[in-house]
Amino acid sequence: MLLVKRLPSVLNYIKSIFLVLVLLLSGIVTAQQSETFTIPLSRPSEPGKLRIHLIDGSITVNGYDGNEVIVTAVGKNVKKNNQRSKNGMKKIDNNSMSFSVEERDNIVYVKKMPNGSSSMSFEVQVPRNFSVDLKTLNNGLISVNNVDGTHEASNLNGK
């Protein structure tokens, strides 16, 4: 009989814990942001190359029927800085993350600046006739789909 009387209070306690967990997880999910921008190629009709080397994070590259490189950075509090230099370089930075994307002679370089332990992943669309040079060291995954070209990939502690 005592167990039956305590059951509603136990259920209310479990519901409260569940609600707190849902609220915490929704805060974590909303902290993830992304920023997308497009990089034109110097010679869009010729093959190109994408080069990304990361310490922490994943890299996903998908080929598409376009002639520009579309880079999406995914991480915490990604903030876009709209300043452009004369050579087409674009930098995105804030307190927790910083990276740059630069195109030179049909080679697109994506570089994460070493400013702390924040992890950042990249989702990139490239023309189908593109080569890739991709490296990640920790906590990452490398995936390349629908891309015809030379593939160099290195992933030390991931898939």
Quote the pLDDT of residue 137.
Answer: 86
Quote the pLDDT of residue 81.
Answer: 45
Model confidence, pTM: 0.68
The region of weakest confidence among 112-116, 125-129, 150-154 is: 112-116
CA distance linking residue 85 with residue 66, whole number of Å: 24
Residue 89 confidence class, pLDDT cut points 50, 70, 90: low
Q: Which two tokens stand for residue 106?
A: 């049909």
CA distance linking residue 90 with residue 88, whole number of Å: 6
- Report percent pLDDT > 70 for the chain: 62
What's the sign of the alpha-carbon dihedral 130, 131, 133, 134? positive
Quote the pLDDT of residue 138.
Answer: 80
- Amino acid, res. 136: T
Quote the pLDDT of residue 21.
Answer: 53
CA distance linking residue 106 with residue 139, whole number of Å: 29
pLDDT tens digits, 3-61: 455 555 655 555 555 555 555 554 444 456 778 889 999 999 999 999 999 888 899 99
What's the sign of the alpha-carbon dihedral 79, 83, 86, 88? positive
Quote the pLDDT of residue 25.
Answer: 52
Quote the pLDDT of residue 49.
Answer: 97
